[in-house]
């Protein structure tokens, strides 16, 4: 117990008073709760992966990959090819729409009512349920234009569905290119399009690519809009844009699971495994794409400084990142 010069005894720190103990207990309970929450987030992921692998591997046959499905069994080759055909279509349509929209919002528009309306519309479109997209495609394209269940309505509907994601990531990626880089280009007398092509796009490429790959992952995983637009077919895609149904993996996973035939049920498990592997590959390739393009980008620094700046210069906590 120390005594100050004035002879006043300062209150001792009372570690064992009930209040202090209650605070410590509450703190411990809080972290325990957070830990439990994290376990509850990770558990379903592990459980889903484990379940998918276990169910599929039990009856796995390699010829699933190169035989087409029949009503009661067969393989998934038609669905695999169909999924990739649809993904290529979406990459072309949603890629050009989304990147175009992103470019417009960053490079060719001014802050104001038009920009706000267009940006809000894009973001709200991202929140529209996929089944609503699918049903509108069914009403307008499949029935309305008499295209029937086929590739073109499927690609159009899925593209509109994922365009907001591509547009958003393009917008963010372009916005992160430092103004100084553009001004440097302009100061050298470059045209705006030339600056865009040679300076801005190169720095923004990782972000744009990530958005595109995520869009592909979404389109590979959608079922509801495709049921209403693509139908399903046991044959390989015919190449016709309309009047020809297309098979795809998510339908096999969804619709075959409670078929009376055991071989059809096995196809559903196999399709689930293939889908999970496809999504995993896309997620990993998105990360890889970011790394590779950053390494070979002429201005490596361009896509990076934002991180530090956004966190604020004061905190200096690189440790959190």
The one among 40, 113, 239, 260 contacting other proteins by CB under 8 A: 40
Q: Which of the ranges 2-10, 64-72, 84-92, 313-321 carries the binding residues for other proteins, by CB under 8 A? A: 313-321
Widest Cα–Cα separation across the chain: 97
* Token reading at 104: 């417009």
* Token reading at 277: 């592997």
Q: Rounded to an integer, what distance in angstroms lies between the CA atom of residue 252 and that of residue 231?
A: 11
First to last CA, the chain: 44
Question: How many residues sit in the footprint of other proteins (CB under 8 A)?
Answer: 115
| 58 binds other proteins per the rule CB under 8 A | no
The one among 80, 85, 282, 302 contacting other proteins by CB under 8 A: 282
| 52 binds other proteins per the rule CB under 8 A | yes
| 261 binds other proteins per the rule CB under 8 A | no
| 83 binds other proteins per the rule CB under 8 A | no
Interface positions, 186-205, toward other proteins (CB under 8 A): 186-187, 189-194, 196
Please, which residues have CB within 8 angstroms of residue 67's CB and are 6 or more apart in sequence?
74, 75, 77
Interface positions, 1-30, toward other proteins (CB under 8 A): 23-24, 26-27, 30
The one among 78, 167, 293, 303 contacting other proteins by CB under 8 A: 167
Residue placing its CB nearer to other proteins in the complex, 84 or 257: 257
* Token reading at 195: 């600056």
Please, which residues have CB within 8 angstroms of residue 133's CB and are 6 or more apart in sequence?
157, 158, 160, 161, 225
Residue placing its CB nearer to other proteins in the complex, 189 or 239: 189
Interface positions, 215-254, toward other proteins (CB under 8 A): 217-218, 220-224, 227-228, 250, 253-254
The one among 53, 77, 81, 140 contacting other proteins by CB under 8 A: 140
The one among 75, 82, 98, 237 contacting other proteins by CB under 8 A: 98
The one among 70, 71, 183, 261 contacting other proteins by CB under 8 A: 183
List Cα–Cα distances, 292 to 219, 275, 279, in angstroms: 24, 25, 20
Q: Rounded to an integer, what distance in angstroms lies between the CA atom of residue 72 and that of residue 85?
A: 24
Please, which residues have CB within 8 angstroms of residue 200's CB and are 6 or more apart in sequence?
107, 174, 177, 181, 182
| 79 binds other proteins per the rule CB under 8 A | no
* Token reading at 119: 């940006």
The one among 7, 10, 18, 127 contacting other proteins by CB under 8 A: 127
């Amino acid at each position: 117990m120390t005594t100050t010069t004035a002879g006043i005894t300062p209150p001792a720190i009372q570690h064992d008073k009930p209040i202090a103990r209650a605070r410590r207990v509450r703190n411990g309970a809080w972290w325990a709760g957070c830990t439990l929450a994290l376990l509850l987030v990770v558990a379903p992921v592990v459980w889903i992966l484990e379940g998918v692998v276990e169910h599929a591997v039990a009856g796995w046959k390699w010829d699933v990959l190169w035989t087409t499905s029949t009503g009661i069994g067969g393989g998934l080759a038609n669905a695999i090819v169909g999924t990739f055909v649809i993904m290529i279509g979406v990459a072309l349509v949603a890629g050009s729409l989304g990147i175009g929209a992103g470019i417009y919002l960053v490079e060719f528009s001014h802050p104001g009512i038009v920009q706000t309306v267009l940006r809000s519309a894009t973001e709200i479109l991202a929140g529209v349920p996929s089944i609503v997209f699918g049903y509108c495609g069914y009403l307008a394209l499949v029935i309305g234009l008499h295209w029937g269940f086929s590739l073109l309505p499927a690609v159009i509907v899925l593209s509109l569905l994922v365009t907001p994601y591509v547009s958003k990531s393009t917008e963010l990626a372009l916005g992160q290119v430092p103004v100084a880089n553009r001004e440097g280009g302009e100061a050298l007398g470059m045209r705006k399009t030339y600056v865009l092509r040679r300076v801005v796009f190169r720095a923004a490429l990782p972000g744009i690519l990530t958005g595109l790959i995520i869009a592909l992952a979404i389109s590979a995983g959608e079922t509801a809009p495709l049921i209403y637009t693509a139908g399903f077919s046991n044959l390989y895609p015919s190449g016709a844009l309309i009047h020809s149904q297309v098979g795809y993996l998510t339908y096999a996973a969804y619709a075959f699971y409670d078929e009376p035939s055991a071989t059809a049920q096995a196809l559903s498990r196999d399709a689930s495994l293939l889908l999970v592997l496809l999504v995993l590959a896309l997620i990993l390739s998105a990360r890889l794409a970011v790394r590779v393009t950053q390494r070979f980008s002429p201005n490596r620094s361009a896509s990076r400084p934002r991180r530090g700046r956004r966190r604020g210069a004061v905190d200096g906590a690189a440790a959190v990142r």
